[in-house]
């Protein structure tokens, strides 16, 4: 049955439509509550096109991304913030918040997926609960790219301080 015929049949109220596998698309959803199950197949998107939390081991003190945060500087997220990294980054953020700091350098990020954006929004809420304000250093591209593509730019800007 062709797409036009199916559309006419639906418009007339007869039959039920089944979307073909080829046309099925994943729709971006607002961030789920922390700890909610997340699909492991979330695509990684470049920051300028488009943009969930898993458990991971605690950060290792020898991890170079943790070094600056341990020394009182901002925590660096490196080049990627995808579902593969969010568990480890969440643990690093918790440790940083416990130390009374909430600065994250996201200026080196080249790709982020929906899980990464969800982590940032959840981190902003977690920092706020501890009386801190999450500061995202170098986040202009993040907020104008992936976050905007998902309709989350305003939420991210309201939840965290976006700094150059």
**Residue 78 sits in a domain of what CATH number?**
3.30.750.24
Q: In what order do the strands lie in the sheet with 135-137?
A: 75-76, 103-105, 135-137, 161-163
The pTM of this model reads 0.60
Q: Could you give the CA distance from residue 97 to residue 128 in angstroms, rounded to a whole number?
A: 10
Beta-carbon contacts of 163 under 8 Å, excluding residues fewer than 6 positions away, are: 135, 136, 137, 138, 139
**Is residue 77 over pLDDT 50?**
yes
89 within a domain of the structure (yes/no): yes
Phi, psi of 161 (to 5 degrees): -85, 115
β pairing state of 103-105 and 135-137: parallel
> Is 39 a domain residue?
no
Please report how the helices 83-98 and 114-129 are oriented relative to each other, as an axis angle in degrees rounded to 10.
Answer: 10
CA distances, 106 to each of 2, 51, 99, 126 (Å): 47, 15, 19, 18
- Report if residue 18 sits inside a domain: no
Q: What is the dihedral of CA 105, 108, 114, 118, to 10 degrees?
A: 0
Instruction: Decide if 116 is inside a domain.
Output: yes
Number of domains in the chain: 1
CB-CB contact of 77 with 108 (8 Å): yes
Q: Which domain holds residue 156?
A: 45-163
Question: Would 37 be classed as within a structural domain?
Answer: no
pLDDT of 135 > 80? The answer is yes
SS3 135: strand
Least confident of 32-36, 37-41, 52-56, 89-93: 52-56
Query: Does residue 10 sit within a domain?
Result: no
Does residue 11 belong to any structural domain of this protein?
A: no
- Percent above pLDDT 70 for the chain: 57
Lowest-confidence range among 26-40, 64-78, 80-94, 96-110? 26-40
Residue 92 included in any domain: yes
């Amino acid at each position: 049955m062709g797409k036009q015929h199916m559309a006419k049949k639906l418009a007339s109220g007869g039959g039920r439509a089944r979307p073909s596998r080829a046309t099925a698309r994943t729709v971006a959803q607002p961030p789920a509550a922390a700890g909610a199950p997340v699909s492991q197949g979330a695509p990684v998107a470049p920051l300028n096109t488009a943009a969930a939390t898993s458990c991971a081991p605690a950060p290792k003190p020898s991890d170079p991304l943790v070094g600056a945060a341990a020394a009182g500087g901002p925590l660096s997220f490196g080049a990627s913030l995808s579902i593969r990294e969010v568990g480890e980054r969440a643990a690093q953020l918790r440790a940083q918040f416990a130390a009374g700091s909430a600065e994250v350098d996201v200026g080196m990020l080249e790709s982020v997926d929906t899980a990464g954006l969800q982590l940032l929004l959840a981190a902003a809420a977690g920092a706020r609960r501890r009386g801190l304000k999450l500061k995202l250093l170098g986040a202009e591209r993040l907020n104008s790219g992936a976050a905007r593509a998902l309709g989350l730019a305003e939420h991210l800007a309201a939840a965290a301080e976006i700094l150059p």
